[in-house]
Structure 1
Amino acid sequence: MSAELLEDKYPIGSQPRIHFVPYIIFCSYLVSLIGAFTTVELLHRRLSGSGWRSWVQIGGCSVSFGLVAIWCMHFVGNRAIILGDGEQEIQLYYSSTYTAVSAVLPVVVIFLGLLVADRFYKGSKRAITRYSALVVCGVCAGAAVTEMHYLGNYGTTNYRLQLSWPHVYGAASIAVGACLISFGLFFHWSGHWVNFIWRRVIVACFLALAVSGMHWTAAAGTWYEIRGYHEGSGQERNVNLIIALCLCLFACAVCFLLGFLKQRQQRMLKDRAQQVVLAVATFDPEGRLLVSQSGLMPCQTITRQFHQRTFDEEFNTTHPVFHWLFRVTRNWSGIIELIPSMREHLQSTGYIQTTSSPTHAMNSRSSMDGDNDSSYSATFRELFCVTAQEIARSLDTSLQNLGCLYEDVLTTGTLLNRIIYYTSHGNRAIMATDVATAGKDVEAGIVSPILFGKGQLLVLTRKVDTTEGNRLQNLGYRFANMDQVGDQLARSLQVPRDDLENLVLRLHSFSQRDAAVPAKGAFLASFLIQPSPSVQGLEVVVPRAIPDRLPMVKLSSEELGARQLQLLGTFNGLSLDECLTRISQRSSTGSEDNNFLELFQTKITELLHDCPEPALHRAAFSARQLDIAHGMTGQKEMSPATVFAFCGIKEIYSQSLQSLRLRTIPLSFFQTYLRSYPGCPDHAILAQKNHKEFSSLMRVPSVTRAPKAGRSSKWPSRLRGKTRPSQAEAPWQPDSSSEKGLVNVAQSPSENVSHPWGSIMVTSTQNMTINESNKEDGSLEMRDLGVTAEIGMAETERPTLADRLMSITTGFRDPYAARALPKDLYYGRK
């Protein structure tokens, strides 16, 4: 159209009519939705706190929302505005300066709002502070939408804008209100877990509605007064549109990337549920579980599969390697200085890659072939310690504060046929695991669930205070209840939801358990053993709540006198029923002896109440006074607690227990409990044995093995296959069988010669007695009062209470039996 006709049709100062293109309006909403969804996904995966990583992630969220959801939507949406009859000279054209400023300013304002919400909403316990932070975030986001719209429109080069102030107020109110609802829902669901994609989609839809609603409300109240005509081909209008579409495509790529990473993480979790994994269960004072942004416990893979030496060997609480792990986690200081050498050895042997991060290093960890049975036990223990160190680094804490190993090996990766459970609201069915695809006979009716485990989970438990909990939250972790993360945890471990809830309750109870032994007094205990159903040793009956102790009642708060010990000696060897019968036959004279016997009778009755087992009625009483905690005798400031026990053996065909408050554990594991209490001298002995076993690692340099012919060293070890060093290549071949460090084995002289410096260890035990008989009141006795340097072999671990009671029990059954039987008869094969 010629300039004369254009000026006649649209004179300067006139307001051409406006109409909109519907499909472009819909496309503009999709553009805003893409940017808003990208923003929500980035917010969901951000790290909370004040670190630079958190600031960078919030900056990425601000760019996504301000640049894609708002800026791109604005210029795509404005292409739906057609002025006049669509002549190119009178359409909307923009100044590059205002366009650039309108892209930067909303990003800054949104960054400030998100920073306030992230800092104060989760870091404050006061409701008014949290709500104020949400209000600031919503107002900043709404203001960013509003100011970007009008600043971008003000940059038009050929129009003067005429605004309707009611529309301006309405548009701003829509923007602020929708942003308040969106971010309020997001941060509220973050507290109640937002790990469901439909929730994040709802938040993104509200954010897109805030942007689009504000834009079109403002557009309806805007009139354009011509102040000039555009000269040119009109291609300048496409510049902003092209930039907007490119940013939108980039946001789509980010969404696809996040989805790919999510799928990859789920595959890794599925594979991890079929491996041997170490996890950390951390509880705050409110009993909530520490989880990552994905709703999972901090964990790392130890190895793909525990190498079994025989068909009937299982890695469980009867295994000596588990006993070693259980004891080491209760005295991390005894092994921590060996972990760097363990890591170097694992790198030199190809178990972990030198340049791998902890996340990728686990992929190269796998069990060894059958030719290396003698060294796999030590290798697995090294992998456990190195993995624990990696988790401690991810939590930014020391290994000593990582927690103690839970008392069981948990099974993960279970497969169920058609096991469905529901959420806490009962309105949504969740599949526990992948449904088995095997064929089913329809005429057979309901198929029984097939349950078998593929993976194993070792859990370190601990309880932290409020200060430590806040520090962990600043690292990006969260404390959550089971109703918030139960479904995600169940899917990642591939276990039923009910089993997971019971497990978390047991872990929380275990973290609160006091491992200290009774300080003083005399106790009456029940020592009942039974053959294991798997015929692999013996089991002992213990309380379910405190399996590290026998069922016992306090007989006296003070140490018993000689006369009381003499009275108890008259019942030695009698069964419990015979003891009650003999006490009832005595005449009641009111003497001190009768009073003590009545107390003894009362305590027997209480013991029967706590342990209502028929075998206890036939158990023989031992009048031998035993220390509950071995290695603490002779302390003058505190008399050690002692115990008298009824010793018996349950029938092999009677495996069930009469009380739910009781359970059975392997006798060997009960012995491990007794060697793991705080202050036990066996901690130093085990540490000395570990230094003896792993001392050669401190002097072995890292060895890089030459690749074999036809194999490139560029390929990861898990793609090259399992390789084993030859005898000439292997710098370290210790005796690393499972029993090493767990039983007392005499060392040959050749071992002492091969490691001349590995036997030196500073122990924390001292036994010194100074007795000057020629000086009156000049005797001085010292026991376990300090630290001395002791050069030589580790001292022998003393018999525990379980050992002594087992010896007494076999003595009652066979008076001619040896006092100390072989340990294979006590604890089964190792």
Structure 2
Amino acid sequence: MGPIIEELYPIGSRPGIHYLPHLIFISYIVSLIGAFTTVELLHRRVSGSGWRSLVQLGACAVSFGLVAIWCMHFVGNRAIIVGRGESEIQLYYNATYTTVSAILPIVVIFMGLLAADRFYKNNKNASTRYAALLICGVCCGASVTAMHYLGNQGTTNYQIRNTPAFVIGAAAIAIVACFVAFSLFFHWSGHWMNVIWRRIIVAFFLAVAVCGMHWTAAAGTSYEIRGYHRGSGAARNINVIVAVCLCLGACGVCFTMGFIKQRQQRKERDRAKQVVLAVATFDSDGRLLVTPGGLLPCQTITRQFHQRTFDEEFNIRHPVFQWLYRVSRNWSGIVDLIPAMRDHLQHMGYVQVSTPLGNPSRDSLDTEEGDSTYSAIFRQMFCVTAQDIARSMETRLQDLGYLFEDVLTTGTLLTKIMFRDGQGKTIIANDVGLPRKDVEAGPEQPILFGRGQLLVLTRKVGKEESNRLQNIGYRFASTDQIGDQLARSMQISRHDLNDLIARLQTYCDRKAAMPRYGTYLASFLLQPSPVMKGLDVIVSKACPDRLPMVKFMSDEPTPKQLRMLSAFNGFTLDECLIRLSSASGLVTADDVFMEKFRNCIQELVGEVPEPALRQATFSSQQLDIAHGISGQNEALQATVFAFCGIKEVYNQSLSSQKLRYVPLSFFKASLRSYPGCPDHAILAHENHKEFGSLFAPTGDFSSHGNGPKSSPKWASIFRSNGKTMSESIVQADSSSEQGLVPNPQTSLDPPNSMTNPFGGIMVSQEVIISQVADVSQIELHEMGVRSQVSAGDSEQMTVADRLLSITTSFRDPHARLLTKEHPARR
């Protein structure tokens, strides 16, 4: 160093400074990159109190403190040129101060973000939320200010002189800008309005906070020489090089998150064309549980349900769906089989152990396999998928929820026809293949190409469980908040989504409608399907798992009252009313009973205003509404008499908006799904009989063996006669979903004619006959056929099975004539 430098810039002097404009602009870009990375990481964090949430908040603090603040500071200071640019008097920094200035803002920012994350969300107290945002703004703004002045104190060859007014102004700019930025972010994020351009606005304000504070403070800073740098001038570029590397790393993080986002969106679009299992969880306020991205917890079961025939459709008529429906109401009966199912599917290549996203992937099922094998594989994949979702939600499978009573269609927006008119304007036509609105014409077969199907498990949780789910990262939101994003992910219209959420919530709030005591009068009206797919039964929309019925008596009828009702056996409803209206006007106990019977019939007509009901035939058989169902340590003793009839096939409309059609087979499955039903144990026994063979070790089939696991192509080496060794274990005759749906061609036959893989039903009739002279006056007690069945043999007949048998017998004109002539005979 020559004497000229000492003469030009003596110790204690304050040389002039100027700035490089391009580096000022670059310093703002560096700050903007760091701020945008912070906002993106904060947007994709896992909300809650777990360690993952803390790690992600720490990453946000590192991004903002190290890149947006620290890197911007040293890139900005590199724009300061002291004197005429002599290297001996430029700004050089101490390594200790530089390191401390990088760590300090990270710690302070982490504390501020933690306060906002804990106390702003899910807090109904407005003052607490504003206080949390204020703490976050103060901490972040103070960290910007502290880092700047601490980094400047590390200057080795200058004594820094700061103007107090500029210090206060710079700190105010940093705090206010940070408060505004994070207030906007948490407000938009809480309402799921945090789209990309909104996040850019937040990042812009954060960059303004950093750069505005930095250059405001720089304007009030003077540099007093206290020494000269002895060495290479390249040392002043070390901090800039480190800052550029960190900035490039932040850019890489942003590009990676953008790539993951695009992949997730593409996966969501593809998922809208697959068979997906989702979980709809509602809290006590009716809000829906969603992931931090505003989506339902879900996983793909398979890419497409294989239709065995061209007109087959996977809906609530399908025996596989009915099996899923019943199993979801008794998860404990199959949960111990799921590990073997998982090993079986992994061995066959249907489920891979892991994917780049960390979730097991599910390939489409081989359509060349037999029907029973396909059914078994699909049901296994459903159970394994449900177990995976339960694990991701850190809950038991038994607490995951019940399967919703419908197969929902997704991807309907993909079926709209888009074309341009003569002026080049885009026109979107109506949906292609949607069911027609004309109920008289019957339901039209929908076009499912390009669409997906959604199975939903529903449940309602209390405050304790909702808090636990939020602590592990999930969030509860209203439909207004996440509706648009959820509709886009499912590729359905917003109107359809609102209707779906309302149906799911109503389903969760629905209580068990099975009465405990008393005698009821019911309507059992069947409707043949217009496409020859079996029978439908007319039920109430409010209680689709119960026949429309009115209460007749508070207890069971006496033998005398049963004999009086048997006189109406085989008569239509109109005929019954005519006979009741011609009764004597005497006020006796019998007359009061008959009047009550007439009033109940009229009340039932009001509940079911169908013309077909007036031609329905009365059955005097007293049937149990519930077959062996117990509730709170006691059996349900309610009984029912019914009017049985069948509507004309050409009349598909209903006279009341409060009624709906339900497939008879699904209605039977619902009757077997009540809590306490003994059929749960029977189905569990059948499942163990069907899938229990998966536990048997057979050489290469071991789940831990060296056999092929990655692809069905390699599994085909082990095929024998079109089936693999493992698939041949699940026999067709032991399939637990066989017999759930009667054959459409024989749907009018008595239920006793249906085959059952586990044998027939043993029925014992309890009939007490009084010794009287006249055979026509035989007194019958316990008119209904009460079934006695062993729990391990087969399922009992439901009230729907018995009513179907009665309806079939009434369709025989000769049998009905004999019944009218001798109403007491069976």
* TM-score range normalised by the length of the shorter chain: 0.7 to 0.9
**CA drift at 1:82:** 2.5
- Return the offset for 1:560: 2.4
Note closer, same or farther for the CA distance 1:588–1:635 as it changes in structure 2 (3 Å cut). farther
Return the match for 1:497 from 494, 497, 500. Answer: 494
2: CA distance, partners of 1:235 / 1:581: 111
Q: Partners in 1 of 2:707 and 2:248 — Cα distance? A: 39
Deviates more, 1:407-416 or 1:684-693: 407-416
- The match for 1:753 is none
SS in 1 for 2:651: coil
CA–CA distance in structure 1, aligned partners of residues 87 and 471 of structure 2: 55
- Output the amino acid matched with 2:237: N
Question: 2: distance between equivalents of 1:242 and 1:48?
Answer: 35
2:398 matches 1:384: no
Query: Quick check: 1:597 aligned with 2:594?
Result: yes
Q: 1:639 to 1:268 in 2, by over 3 A?
A: closer
The aligned residue for residue 334 of structure 2 is 335
Name 1:86's counterpart in structure 2: 85
SS of 2:720 mapped into structure 1: coil
Match of 1:528 in 2: 525
**Distance between the aligned counterparts of 1:145 and 1:282, measured in 2?**
42
Instruction: List aligned pairs for 1:26-65, cutoff 5 A.
Output: 26-65=25-64
Match of 1:823 in 2: none
Structure 1 window deviating more from structure 2 (571-580 vs 587-596): it is 587-596
Where in structure 2 are the equivalents of 1:258-407 lying within 5 Å? Answer: 258-354=257-353, 359-363=358-362, 365-407=363-405
Paired with 1:415 and 1:123, the residues of 2 have a C-alpha distance of 34
Change (3 A) 1:597 1:743: farther
Task: State the partner residue of 2:454.
Answer: 457
Does the Cα contact within 8 Å between 1:295 and 1:488 map onto a contact in 2? Answer: yes
SS of corresponding position for 2:222: strand
Distance 1:461 1:736 in 2: 32
2:719 to 712, 722, 725: 725
Cα deviation, residue 226, structure 1: 2.0
SS where residue 552 of structure 2 aligns? strand
Kindly state the Cα deviation for residue 701 of structure 1 after the two structures are TM-superposed. 4.5
CA contact (8 A) 2:145 2:174 kept: yes
Q: What is the Cα deviation at residue 438 of structure 1?
A: 6.7
Is residue 270–residue 494 contact of structure 1 (8 Å, CA) maintained in 2? Answer: yes
Q: In the aligned structure 2, how far is the partner of 1:100 from the partner of 1:74?
A: 13
One-letter identity of the residue aligned with 2:290 = V
CA displacement 1:153-180 (0-9 Å, x = unmatched): 1111122111111111111111112212
Cα distance in 1 for residues equivalent to 2:113 and 2:525: 62
Map of 1:795 onto structure 2: 793
User: How far is 1:92 from its partner?
Assistant: 1.7
Query: CA separation of 1:359/1:379 partners in 2, compared to 1, >3 Å: closer, same or farther?
Result: farther
1:302-329, CA deviations, whole angstroms, 9 ceiling, x for partnerless residues? 1111122211211111111111111111
1:485-505 CA-partner distances (Å, limit 9, x unpaired) = 112211111111111111111
**By how many angstroms is 1:691 displaced?**
1.1
Q: Which SS does the other structure have where 2:524 is aligned? A: strand
Q: Which residue of 2 aligns with 1:209?
A: 208
Q: Give me the whole-angstrom Cα distance separating, in 1, the residues matched to 2:544 and 2:98.
A: 71
In 2 relative to 1, CA 464–714 (structure 1 residues): closer, same or farther, beyond 3 Å? same
Q: In 2, distance between residues paired with 1:113 and 1:634?
A: 53
Amino acid in the other structure paired with 1:653: Y
State the match for 1:432 in structure 2.
none
Change (3 A) 1:437 1:704: farther
2:412 aligns to what SS in structure 1? Answer: coil
Distance 1:48-1:22 versus aligned 2 partners, 3 A rule: same
Aligned to 2:9: 10
Q: State the 1:685 CA deviation.
A: 0.8
Q: In 2 relative to 1, CA 446–133 (structure 1 residues): closer, same or farther, beyond 3 Å?
A: closer
Match of 1:777 in 2: none
Aligned residue for 1:470?
A: 467
One-letter amino acid of the structure 2 residue matched with residue 575 of structure 1: T
Rounded Cα–Cα distance in structure 2 between residues aligned with 1:546 and 1:204? 52
Report deviation, 1:679: 0.8
SS at match of 1:231: coil
Q: Deviations over 1:497-555 (max 9, x none)?
A: 11111111111111121235111111111111111122110111111122101111112
Q: Hey, what's the Cα distance between the residues in 1 that align with 2:370 and 2:14?
A: 88
SS in 2 for 1:236: helix
* 8 Å Cα contact 2:101-2:147 kept in structure 1: yes
Q: 1:334-356 deviations in whole A, cap 9, x for unaligned?
A: 11111111112112222223466
- One-letter code of the match for 1:541? I
Q: Give the corresponding residue for 1:488.
A: 485
Q: Distance in 1 between matches of 2:162 and 2:632?
A: 90
Q: Secondary structure at the match of 1:733?
A: helix
Amino acid at match of 1:32: S
Q: Deviations over 1:348-400 (max 9, x none)?
A: 2222234669954324x211132433311111111111111111111111110
Q: How does 1:19-168 map to 2 (within 5 A)?
A: 19-122=18-121, 124-168=123-167
Amino acid at match of 2:620: A
1:642 and 2:624 aligned: no
Taking the TM superposition and a 5 Å limit, the aligned residue runs for 1:749-788 are none
- Sequence identity, in percent? 61
Q: Residues 632 and 465 (structure 1 numbering): CA distance in 2 closer, same or farther, change over 3 Å? A: closer
When residues 389 and 492 of structure 1 are mapped into structure 2, their CA distance, relative to the original with a 3 A threshold, is: same
Offset from partner CA, 1:614-661 (integer Å, 9 cap, x none): 111211222221111113599996661111111111111110111121
192-201 or 313-322: bigger deviation? 192-201
Q: Which runs of 5+ in 1 are unaligned?
A: 419-435, 707-711, 746-760, 762-766, 770-787, 819-830
* 1:430-459: CA deviation from partner (whole Å, max 9, x where unpaired): xxxxxx567878899874443544211111
Counterparts of 1:518-667 in structure 2, within 5 Å, are 518-632=515-629, 640-667=637-664
Corresponding residue for residue 218 of structure 2: 219
CA–CA distance in 2 between the matches of 1:799 and 1:32? 73
1:674 is the counterpart of 2:656: no
Query: Partners of 1:103 and 1:129 in 2: how far apart?
Result: 31
Q: Quick one: distance in 1 between partners of 2:384 and 2:280?
A: 18
**8 Å contact kept, 1:195–1:295:** no
Equivalent position amino acid for 1:313 in 2: E
Partners of 1:59 and 1:111 within 8 A in 2: yes
The alpha-carbon deviation at position 290 of structure 1 amounts to: 0.8
1:808 aligned partner, one-letter code: I
How much is the aligned-residue C-alpha RMSD, in angstroms?
A: 3.1
- Counterpart Cα distance in 2 of 1:163 and 1:414: 65
Letter in 2 for 1:402: L
Segment of structure 1 superposing worse, 10-19 or 507-516: 10-19
Shift of 1:131: 3.1
Deviations 1:244-290 (A, max 9, x none): 11100100000000000111111111111111111111111111111
Distance 2:715 2:678 in 1: 44
Instruction: Give the Cα separation in 1 of the matches to 2:58 and 2:318.
Output: 51
Gap change, CA 1:121 and 1:287, over 3 Å in 2: same
Output the TM-score relative to the length of structure 2. Answer: 0.86
Provide the C-alpha distance between the structure 2 equivalents of 1:266 and 1:31, rounded to a whole number of angstroms: 29
* Cα distance change on mapping 1:306 and 1:620 into 2, 3 Å: same
Inter-partner Cα distance in structure 2 for 1:100 and 1:174:
25
- Measure the CA separation in 2 of the matches of 1:207 and 1:674: 60
Q: Aligned equivalents of 2:562 and 2:709: distance in 1?
A: 72
Tell me, yes or no, if the aligned pair for 1:179 and 1:206 is still in contact at 8 Å.
Answer: yes
In 2, Cα distance between the equivalents of 1:798 and 1:20?
90
Distance 1:726 1:638, change over 3 A: closer
